[in-house]
């Protein structure tokens, strides 16, 4: 290790324990014979600064994942601290936030030297090579940086590269067992593609990836999963692609590969309803046989009018088709909904509530989390709102307080908020698997939901008083 140059990467604090796939990807893109990659995950350390101090003093760079919302607070604090330990060490931010705001972190935070936009593997490799060789950054696509005269320079965007030309992720860069322990299950996080072809008006993907998509070939993927299975003995895979089921033929090959290579695991992934509707029952059965246990199918709204406004490019009938097949084959599904869009009509709200009730009654393995709309930067709806005078946070630190889960925007009245908080609580009680002693509570919750009766929610007050839940970020 003495002859290798040290690269330190940091994953900020948050409440989830997904493996830091972005850091693993960029760390795996470096030549292992030349560089020692150290990944420090803030979620595993009450105070990561002592560990960081040990490594940053002789590091050639410090890379940080930036995610819009509360993780930015830790990213800012740790980056500032790292600069005090080693002022000559370049600090590089990548991730969603810098893809949306290339220049702003450099303007606001003097201790950040470079931001990366979009797909980062090749960009980061070129940055590290430039730092090692003492060359400038002028020809590195996909970055924004501060030059010697303190001028902020934004280079041209980097195109998506072929996923099959990228190096496979080296999970030995992290302690995989520690993530299994934190999750409470031997679940491997994996991503097989980058980008998304679609144009959802509330999503930033079209802005960042320009509606392009690249995916790993099925044979290469399943070969890698086999090796990882032999090494780590995982029992579940969480595929974290934006749209895993983009190509049905690829999915069938992946399922066939999992079976033929005897990779005994369950798995979960994302699916658009239109993608599912183009698959046959036999396709679903093949996926189920290969270990498919759960899908995430974004619904967002229960009316076609609202789906069209959101540019989801799906039909209610396609959602129902997927739900019926998953019910028949006993495949669990998460169907997320969003309420509180600007100009949302009562018809849209009523339609969503009705559809949520229908889905929850169909199958005990169906879940319908409800989120409140907040304008994600870069999305079409947000751009329209800004044109009409809506003020987004101005500085990087302000975005740290712009949380997405459980928080509401100015379009959600107090009445609507309280209604949906009650509705979400009673949905959880009414349809969650539980022991026989809670049957009366479940029946009461089901009665409340059926009749929309949420006044005097005494059982909710009692339960929430004694059972604390995590505040999500």
pLDDT tens for each residue of 105-117: 999 999 999 999 9
Q: Average pLDDT for residues 201-206, to the nearest whole number?
A: 86
Contact predicate 266/239, CB 8 Å: no
pLDDT at 382 over 90: no
Q: How far is CA 317 from its chain centroid?
A: 27
Pick the CATH number of 163-466 from 3.30.70.60, 3.40.50.300, 3.40.50.720, 3.30.750.200: 3.30.750.200
Report which of residues 433 and 110 the model is more confident about.
Answer: 110
- Strands (E) in 216-297, as ranges, are 236-239, 266-270, 292-296
Please list, in sequence order, all residues whose beta carbon lies within 8 angstroms of the beta carbon of residue 262, skipping any fewer than 6 positions away: none
Helix, strand, coil abundance in the chain, percent, nearest 5: 45, 15, 40
Predicted pLDDT at 471: 46
Contact predicate 28/172, CB 8 Å: no
Q: How far is CA 273 from its chain centroid?
A: 19
Predicted pLDDT at 133: 96
Identity of the highest mean pLDDT range in 205-209, 329-333, 337-341: 329-333
Mean pLDDT, rounded, of the chain: 92
pLDDT at 5 over 60: yes
Predicted pLDDT at 473: 33
pLDDT at 406 over 70: no
Among 11-25, 73-87, 447-461, the least confident range = 447-461
pLDDT at 221 over 70: yes
Cα gap 164→166, rounded to integer Å: 5
Helix 439-451 / helix 458-466 crossing angle, nearest 10 deg: 130
Q: Average pLDDT for residues 5-12, to the nearest whole number?
A: 98
pLDDT at 150 over 50: yes
Predicted pLDDT at 201: 87
* CA-based nearest residue to 49, from 36, 60, 37, 62: 62
pLDDT at 82 over 90: yes
- pLDDT band for position 407 (50/70/90)? low
Classify 372 as helix, strand or coil.
strand
> What are the extents of the domains in the chain?
5-154, 163-466
Predicted pLDDT at 322: 98
The dotted CATH code for 5-154 is 3.40.50.280
Among 64-78, 145-159, 457-471, the least confident range = 457-471
């Amino acid at each position: 290790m003495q002859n290798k140059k040290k690269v330190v990467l940091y994953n900020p604090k948050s409440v989830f324990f997904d493996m830091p796939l972005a850091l693993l990807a960029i760390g795996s893109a470096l030549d292992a014979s030349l560089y020692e990659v150290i990944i420090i995950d803030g979620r595993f350390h009450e105070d990561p600064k002592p560990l960081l101090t040990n490594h940053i003093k002789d590091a050639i760079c410090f890379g940080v994942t930036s995610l819009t919302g509360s993780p930015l607070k830790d990213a800012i604090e740790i980056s500032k601290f790292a600069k005090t330990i080693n002022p000559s060490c370049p600090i590089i931010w990548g991730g969603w936030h810098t893809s949306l705001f290339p220049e702003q972190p450099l303007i606001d935070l003097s201790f950040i030297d470079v931001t990366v936009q979009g797909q980062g593997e090749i960009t980061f490799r070129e940055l590290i090579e430039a730092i090692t060789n003492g060359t400038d950054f002028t020809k590195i696509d996909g970055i924004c940086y501060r030059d010697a005269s303190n001028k902020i320079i934004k280079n041209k965007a980097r195109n998506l590269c072929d996923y099959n030309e990228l190096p496979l992720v080296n999970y030995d860069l992290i302690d995989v067992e520690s993530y299994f322990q934190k999750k409470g299950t031997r679940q491997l996080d994996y991503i097989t593609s980058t980008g998304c072809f679609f144009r959802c008006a509330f999503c930033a993907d079209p802005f960042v990836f320009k509606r392009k998509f690249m995916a790993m070939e099925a044979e290469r993927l399943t070969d890698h999963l086999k090796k990882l299975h032999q090494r780590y003995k995982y029992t579940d895979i969480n595929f974290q692609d934006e749209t895993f089921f983009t190509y049905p033929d690829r999915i069938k090959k992946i399922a066939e590969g999992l079976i033929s290579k005897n990779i005994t695991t369950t798995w979960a992934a994302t699916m658009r309803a239109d993608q599912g509707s183009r698959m046959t029952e036999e396709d679903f059965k093949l996926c189920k046989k290969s270990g498919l246990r759960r899908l995430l199918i974004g619904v967002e709204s229960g009316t076609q009018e609202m789906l069209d406004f959101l540019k989801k490019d799906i039909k209610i009938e396609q959602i129902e088709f997927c739900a019926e097949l998953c019910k028949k084959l006993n495949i669990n599904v998460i169907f997320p909904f969003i309420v509180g869009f600007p100009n949302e009509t009562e018809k849209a709200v009523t339609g969503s509530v009705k559809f949520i009730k229908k889905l929850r009654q169909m199958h005990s393995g169906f879940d319908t989390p409800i989120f409140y709309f907040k304008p994600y930067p870069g999305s079409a709806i947000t751009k329209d709102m800004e044109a009409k005078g809506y003020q987004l946070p101005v500085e990087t630190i302000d975005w740290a307080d712009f949380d997405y889960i459980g928080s509401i925007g100015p379009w959600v009245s107090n009445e609507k908020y309280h209604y949906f908080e009650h509705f979400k609580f009673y949905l959880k009680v009414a349809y969650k698997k539980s022991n026989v002693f809670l049957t009366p509570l479940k029946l009461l919750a089901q009665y409340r939901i059926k009749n929309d009766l949420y006044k005097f929610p005494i059982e909710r007050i009692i339960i929430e008083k004694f059972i604390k839940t995590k505040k999500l970020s």
